[in-house]
């Protein structure tokens, strides 16, 4: 069973510009989700999306900044649950930026999936996917 997700993506912009979109709450909301992120070590924040009570997800992703190295690395916890305080999903998202001649290589590592939360989480994801499609359509319009 997969317990981590890895992706990398190349952007034509400088690490400074990409970093802004990872750490400025308003810019972050444009491509990810509404949030109250602050680029401060230990800062606790949330991403908000549609709740899916049937699937044990209250629509809030609870996060805490674990590591922040300006323009190089950012990691935070990524937790979720039904809203009663239990976290059925308890994972970590890490971003690393690599400066290239003509842009930035962004690496994403999403770790900590366990079998029992994988099922709840992966189901929740299906709802997100449809959200994402709406957002993508909105962006492309």
Q: Minimum CB separation from another protein for residue 81, in Å?
A: 12
Task: Pull the structure tokens for residue 60.
Answer: 């809030």
Tokens 């299906």 appear where? 126
| Cβ closest to another protein, residue 66 vs residue 135 | 135
User: Residue 11 in contact with residue 104, Cβ under 8 Å?
Assistant: yes
Contact range with another protein by CB under 8 A, out of 40-48, 59-67, 72-80, 104-112: 104-112
Q: Which of 79, 72, 3 is nearest to 39 (CA)?
A: 72
Report the alpha-carbon distance of residue 82 to residue 88 in Å, rounded: 8
| Sites of contact with another protein (CB under 8 A) | 1-2, 5, 7, 9, 11-13, 17-18, 21, 30-32, 54-56, 106, 108, 110, 113, 115-116, 118-123, 125-126, 128-129, 132-133, 135-136, 139-140
């Amino acid at each position: 069973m997969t317990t981590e997700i890895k992706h990398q993506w190349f952007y034509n912009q400088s690490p400074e510009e990409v970093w802004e979109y990872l750490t400025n709450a308003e810019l972050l909301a444009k491509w990810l989700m509404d949030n109250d992120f602050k680029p401060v070590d230990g800062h606790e924040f949330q991403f908000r999306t549609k709740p899916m009570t049937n699937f044990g997800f209250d629509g809030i992703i609870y996060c805490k900044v674990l590591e922040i190295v300006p323009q190089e690395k950012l990691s935070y916890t990524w937790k979720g649950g039904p809203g009663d305080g239990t976290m059925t999903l308890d994972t970590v998202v890490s971003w690393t930026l690599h400066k290239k001649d003509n842009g930035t290589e962004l690496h994403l590592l999403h770790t900590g999936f366990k079998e029992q939360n994988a099922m709840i989480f992966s189901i929740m994801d299906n709802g997100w996917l449809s959200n994402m499609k709406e957002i993508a359509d909105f962006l492309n319009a």
